[in-house]
Structure 1
């Protein structure tokens, strides 16, 4: 009975969190940190800084309530989420591999020894087949409405046709994902490059303005070098006077607090 309830929970669209979430409490996290700190001590008893990997944590002797805090191993191949098997491979499986009727031609596959196909295939025109599938969807929907108005009990075959059309259209769109990722990366790099060029242009503009001001001062007979030295000395004097004011203020507060004998 319990297994049946667990299976229903896994297949629910909005499944509840697994029961192990109750073990992720602040107290258990603190206990795990203390165990890691004790296990990382050297022979002389001094703690040493160490980053624990999940495999090293699994090698420790942990209480049952702390074992859920250790990250599981990285899955390989397939894994199950809410009762559905997911594949870790980034390659998009073909519709034929999933047992679905494909409505557009597939590119030719190489032979068993890697040789090229005898009949070279033309590049797949995604837009053309997406348009054809869209028109077929409209036609099949009209046929579906006609079936519901005449023989409603024979709707299942037409629903299956519409489902197959949607799956094919979705698969065609997914074939664009690598292209979309490349275009997004190109756009991001172009924006970054344009921002960098704008910053360089602003810096060049500021440099030209400063050069023009210095040339004007030199043309008027002003000693630019001595002027810069005077400005630097004035700045240092202001900084020193501010430091003395701060020291005097601190001394007054110390006298008020009784830290210094009056």
Structure 2
């Protein structure tokens, strides 16, 4: 197969240094750090340096894809981006943006179809206005989604807490049921182990039969107790 005929991968290959992350090398690095807690990274071989993550940021400014960014920078808004807001400015919209998102999505589709029609008629011109409108609509949709995220996070946390409470209630109910069953089994053990006062002659004559019956009751009680505990653990 020629070089140009080879099929292209859907995703780029991982960075080449991923092959250094092996169990043997991680164990070797752990041993070196155990021997010297103040290990100098520059003294390590190159393949071991990849295994050490970079230190955390000391400042709030960092570079990402060639652009300087700051963690202290305020979140961008449509006004700061000089984009026209296409939905009403009301606090209730942040809690229920679905209707406006659907409306903007339909408008986006309409503008996109208009753009396709304009390009089919005049590919060199007639696309700037529609492209600008698509950008504005997309930025407005992102603004609505970002404004909904705090409410979404709170509702997700509430749902998780409610599920945990229901799970704990179910576990407590199962413990109560198991406790009742264990108390019944213990009661059977006590009643089965109690022996009546018999004359000395009768005890001597029926000693073997009484012992056999007692052991049979105890085995049955212990079998029931094991069944209850096994069912509770399952």
TM-score by length of 1: 0.52
Q: Within 5 A, what are the aligned runs for 1:210-249?
A: 222=191, 231=218
Instruction: Kindly state the Cα deviation for residue 190 of structure 1 after the two structures are TM-superposed.
Output: 1.1
Instruction: Kindly state the Cα deviation for residue 30 of structure 1 after the two structures are TM-superposed.
Output: 4.9
| Residue in structure 2 matching 1:200, options 155, 158, 172 | 172
Instruction: Tell me how far apart the structure 2 counterparts of residues 216 and 27 of structure 1 sit (CA, whole Å).
Output: 59
8 Å Cα contact 2:189-2:218 kept in structure 1: no
Instruction: Kindly state the Cα deviation for residue 172 of structure 1 after the two structures are TM-superposed.
Output: 0.9
In the alignment, which residue of structure 2 is the partner of 1:123? Answer: 91
| Cα pair distance change 1:203/1:63, threshold 3 Å | closer
| Residue in structure 2 matching 1:160, options 109, 113, 132 | 132
Instruction: Kindly state the Cα deviation for residue 169 of structure 1 after the two structures are TM-superposed.
Output: 0.7
Instruction: Specify which structure has the higher proportion of helix.
Output: 2
Structure 1 residue matching 2:91: 3-state secondary structure: coil
Could you tell me which runs of 5 or more consecutive residues in structure 1 were left unpaired when the two chains were aligned. 1-12, 41-55, 107-121, 236-262
CA-to-partner distance for each residue in 1:29-68, whole Å, 9 max, x for gaps? 454334323325xxxxxxxxxxxxxxx55x5662351333
| Residue in structure 2 matching 1:180, options 152, 155, 174 | 152
8 Å Cα contact 1:100-1:164 kept in structure 2: yes
In the alignment, which residue of structure 2 is the partner of 1:147? Answer: 118
| Residue in structure 1 matching 2:142, options 140, 158, 170 | 170
CA-to-partner distance for each residue in 1:222-253, whole Å, 9 max, x for gaps? 4676789x849x97xxxxxxxxxxxxxxxxxx
Instruction: Tell me how far apart the structure 1 counterparts of residues 187 and 164 of structure 2 sit (CA, whole Å).
Output: 35
In the alignment, which residue of structure 1 is the partner of 2:34? Answer: 37
Structure 1 residue matching 2:43: 3-state secondary structure: coil
Instruction: Kindly state the Cα deviation for residue 79 of structure 1 after the two structures are TM-superposed.
Output: 4.0
Instruction: Tell me how far apart the structure 2 counterparts of residues 30 and 191 of structure 1 sit (CA, whole Å).
Output: 40
Instruction: Tell me how far apart the structure 1 counterparts of residues 13 and 83 of structure 2 sit (CA, whole Å).
Output: 31
Q: 76-85 vs 62-71, which deviates more?
A: 76-85
CA-to-partner distance for each residue in 1:87-119, whole Å, 9 max, x for gaps? 65697432333454433456xxxxxxxxxxxxx
